[in-house]
């Protein structure tokens, strides 16, 4: 990939490896959209536009003796163009730090690379969930035709399960039997993991409804949850260029790098997404079959 100009940077293979690991590991811990969406690609960094097709001729399957009574064949009805933007953040390494690492055989301080990767990862999830009017990007929470459901007070034990079960029923009625993934705003995730005496954590019941996982995301603002059917004929994330570090230029002997990727969300069947909005979780304590227990440390979900 010559456009990355990595061979022009005065870094050893070991130093490049340290930067790449910092970028990859940071992004992996933060990214949520990629955990719940099918991925298509990589299709190449030069791919600036992809197709989003809407199928026509959708009907039930046929059964007969000779195979002559089938209905209209499924085919592309409408074809839309989707822009594939670049997401990036630059960082600088001071030349003396690079030389210190080389001369003393100590690892590079990759904090700047990790922070740049974190910024790109957060932007990626914001684009996936909220879209971008400037780039004509549709998000899961903004797609026309998405399903919506009410969100009640999750401080009352059992409400979270009832709300999500209602959304599951809506997706099933739309022809998506699962599996499902559930993404929660931080406040809702905290409410679902808050212990109540005499009851199991409510998030365990949510995981039974969402077999593809339950994840928190700061990209979801206020009290909002997104339940989606994780199937590629309904939704996918097109990766043109996966997250990578490029070398830009020397600047007064210092080295400028860019963490960059190119991707776009395709919502082919918006009815595969149900956005829950409403009251959600306020500041009050959890109500249920007992007093609220002390707050324990919450472990971040694994991949």
pLDDT tens-place string over residues 12-33: 999 999 999 999 999 999 999 9
Mean pLDDT of 114-119: 99
pLDDT digits (tens, 9 = 90+) for 232-287: 999 999 999 999 999 999 999 999 999 999 999 999 999 999 999 987 665 445 55
Predicted structure pTM score = 0.88
- pLDDT bin (cut points 50, 70, 90) of residue 149 is very high
What confidence score (pLDDT) does residue 61 get?
Answer: 80
pLDDT digits (tens, 9 = 90+) for 76-109: 778 899 999 999 999 999 999 999 999 999 999 9
- Alpha carbon of residue 272 to chain centroid: 16
> Is pLDDT at 111 greater than 70 in this prediction?
yes
Mean pLDDT of 201-211: 97
- Alpha carbon of residue 90 to chain centroid: 22
**DSSP secondary structure letter of residue 74:** P
> Is pLDDT at 300 greater than 60 in this prediction?
no
Mean residue pLDDT across the chain: 90
In angstroms, the CA 114 to CA 136 distance is: 29
In angstroms, the CA 4 to CA 99 distance is: 22
What is the b/e burial string over 178-215, where b = at least 16 CB atoms within 10 angstroms of the residue's CB? Answer: eebbbbbbebbbebbbbbbeeeeebbebbbebbebbbb
- pLDDT bin (cut points 50, 70, 90) of residue 197 is confident
Beta bridge partners of 87: 261
What confidence score (pLDDT) does residue 75 get?
Answer: 73
Query: Percent of the chain having pLDDT more than 70?
Result: 91
Range of weakest confidence among 70-79, 170-179, 281-290: 281-290
Contact 79, 53 (CB under 8 A): yes
The residues, ordered by sequence, that sit 6+ positions from 283 with a Cβ below 8 Å of its Cβ are none
Q: Is 275 helix (H, G, I), strand (E, B) or coil?
A: strand
Domains plus CATH for the chain?
2-55+75-280 (3.30.2400.30)
In angstroms, the CA 54 to CA 233 distance is: 10
Mean pLDDT of 224-235: 96
- pLDDT bin (cut points 50, 70, 90) of residue 222 is confident
> Is pLDDT at 62 greater than 90 in this prediction?
no
Q: Is 238 exposed, middle or buried (0-12, 13-18, 19+ CB in 10 A)?
A: buried
Mean pLDDT of 45-55: 91
What confidence score (pLDDT) does residue 77 get?
Answer: 77
What confidence score (pLDDT) does residue 177 get?
Answer: 95
């Amino acid at each position: 990939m010559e456009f990355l100009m990595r061979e022009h940077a005065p870094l050893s293979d070991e130093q490049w490896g340290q930067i790449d690991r910092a970028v990859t590991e940071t992004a992996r811990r933060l990214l949520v959209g990629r955990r719940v969406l099918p991925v298509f690609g990589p299709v190449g960094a030069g791919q600036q536009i992809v197709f989003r097709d809407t199928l026509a001729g959708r009907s039930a399957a046929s059964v007969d003796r000779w195979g002559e009574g089938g209905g209209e064949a499924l085919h592309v009805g409408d074809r839309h163009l989707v822009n594939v933007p670049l997401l990036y953040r630059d960082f600088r390494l001071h030349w003396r730090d690079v030389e210190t690492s080389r001369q003393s055989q100590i690892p590079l301080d990759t904090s700047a690379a990790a922070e740049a990767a974190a910024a790109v990862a957060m932007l990626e999830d914001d684009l996936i969930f909220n879209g971008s009017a400037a780039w004509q990007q549709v998000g899961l929470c903004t797609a026309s035709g998405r399903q919506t459901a009410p969100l009640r007070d999750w401080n009352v034990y059992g409400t979270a399960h009832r709300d999500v079960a209602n959304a599951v029923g809506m997706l099933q009625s739309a022809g998506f039997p699962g599996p499902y993934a559930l993404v929660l705003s931080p406040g809702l995730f905290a409410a679902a993991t808050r212990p109540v005496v005499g009851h199991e954590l409510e998030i365990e019941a949510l995981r039974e409804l969402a077999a593809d996982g339950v994840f928190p995301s700061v990209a979801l603002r206020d009290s909002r949850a997104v339940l989606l059917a994780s199937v590629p004929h309904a939704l996918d994330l097109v990766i043109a260029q996966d997250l990578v570090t490029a070398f830009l230029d020397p600047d007064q002997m210092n080295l400028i790098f860019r963490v960059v990727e190119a991707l776009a969300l395709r919502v082919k069947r918006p009815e595969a997404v149900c956005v829950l909005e409403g009251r959600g979780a306020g500041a009050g304590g959890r109500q249920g079959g007992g007093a609220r227990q002390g707050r324990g440390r919450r472990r971040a979900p694994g991949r």
